[in-house]
Amino acid sequence: MSVSKNASGLRNLFGVTPRKFALLKEAMEEAGIREADLEEKYFSASTRGGQRANKAETGVILRHRPTGTLVRCRKTRSRALNRYYARKILAQRLRERR
C-alpha cells in the first residue's frame, strides 16, 4: 500500500485505491476539513462478523471540532475502511450545511 500525503496532513492509510483517496482529499478540502480538526475514537461494532467483530474496535466515531459534527461509522468490518467512510460522510454533511 502506498502512502501519499497532502498539505492538510491526510495520508492514504485507508486501503482504498488512489482514485478514491484523491476524491476523498478533494471532498475534504471543498468542505474545509483539516485532519488536525478531527477527533477520532473507536468502538466495538457489534454486528455480523462473529467473534472477531465483537472483540475488535472497528467502529469509528469522528468529530469535527470546529462545528461539533459527529459521525459514527460501522459500515464494514475493517477499521481502515470505516475511517475512510466516516470522513466521506462528514465531508458530505458539511458541504450540505453550506
Q: What is the pLDDT of residues 43-85, one digit of tens each?
A: 986 656 566 556 788 899 999 999 999 999 999 888 999 999 9
| Predicted pLDDT at 56 | 80
Q: How far is CA 63 from the centre of its chain?
A: 10
| Predicted pLDDT at 53 | 53
Give CA–CA dist 35/11, Å, rounded.
9
Other CB atoms within a 10 A radius of the CB of residue 71 amount to 20
Here the cell at position 17 is 485505491
pLDDT in tens, 19-34: 999 999 999 999 999 9
Contact 31, 47 (CB under 8 A): no
From the list 69, 65, 7, 72, the residue with the least C-alpha distance to 41 is 72
Here the cell at position 24 is 476523498
Contact 39, 65 (CB under 8 A): yes
Q: 74 in helix, strand or coil? A: coil
Q: Domains for the chain: give ranges and CATH numbers.
A: 18-97 (3.30.160.20)
The yes-or-no verdict on residue 7 having pLDDT over 50 is no
| Predicted pLDDT at 72 | 97
